[in-house]
Amino acid sequence: MTATPFDGPDRVVPDLLVGEIRALRTFQLSSDGSLKPVAYTDVAWTDGANAAHCDLCDHRPAAPGCGCGFWAYGTRGAVAQHRAARHLLAVVACWGRIVPGTLGLRAQYARIEAIWVSGQVPRGRVALLRKRYPSVLIYGSKRTLLRRHRLSRLDSYRRLRYLARLAGLRFPSWHRDRPWSTRGGSLLTTLILLLCWGLLLVSIPVVLIWSL
């Protein structure tokens, strides 16, 4: 996707402060240009620092064992589960108390650093967005957004990538142009699985005969 006039190349990407973590979010873009969470609350985020509050308990967000705090995703694949991310993707800087997870994190404080909006978002609404959040960089290219605003990598995300590789194994499928192709898994992985199944089938009769 090519860059659009929203990409302001003259603007400098802000540096992360000590203790800040970059992650991804998506929002509902209201008709007045405000950004509201896609679930749980309709309170719009403000330009600059946002402080989380817990509606259930009188404690400091983000508290372990509670769902309070600002939720953010650690990878592009994780945030893609939201349909709203197809048209709006935001890079947020998080700090304060942080509760890491396999998909992302919960944070006590967060600010919107940059936003990508698709070409399907009306220009008038983007203009209101820019006016309401003057400190936020707005991009028309998702690739440029992610290249200029590098996401932080937490150790908790690694377990997700490992589990995703295990869950991504598929049986081989037949295609005319690719006779031996796999959906999500390599041919080597498929051969190893077939070998394991073959050994299992051979071992079952041996066990039965030995038990007689």
Q: Are residues 186 and 125 in the same domain?
A: no
Task: Give the CA distances from residue 129 to residues 32, 115, 122, 143, in Å, rounded to whole numbers and listed in that order.
Answer: 8, 10, 11, 20
The residue range of the domain holding 29 is 5-156
127 cis-preceded (ω within 30 degrees of 0) = no
Q: Are residues 124 and 195 in the same domain?
A: no
Is 166 domain-assigned? no
> What pLDDT was estimated at residue 202?
55
Contacts of 38 (CB under 8 A, 6+ apart): 26, 27, 28, 82, 84
| Chunked mean pLDDT (size 10), the chain, 212 residues | 38 63 95 91 93 90 90 91 90 95 94 96 95 96 95 80 49 37 51 66 46 41
Q: Are residues 93 and 29 in the same domain?
A: yes
How many structural domains comprise the chain? 2
> What pLDDT was estimated at residue 21?
95
158 φ, ψ to 5°?
-65, -35
Q: Are residues 151 and 197 in the same domain?
A: no
> What pLDDT was estimated at residue 117?
96
Contacts of 154 (CB under 8 A, 6+ apart): 21, 74, 100, 105
Residue ending a domain, choose from 156, 181, 197: 156
What token pair was written down for 124? 């008038």
Q: Do 177 and 193 touch, CB atoms closer than 8 A?
A: no
Is 140 domain-assigned? yes
What token pair was written down for 52? 């989380």
> What pLDDT was estimated at residue 105?
93
CA 114 from chain center: how many Å?
15
Q: Are residues 76 and 120 in the same domain?
A: yes
> What pLDDT was estimated at residue 82?
82
Q: Please state the pTM of the whole predicted model.
A: 0.68
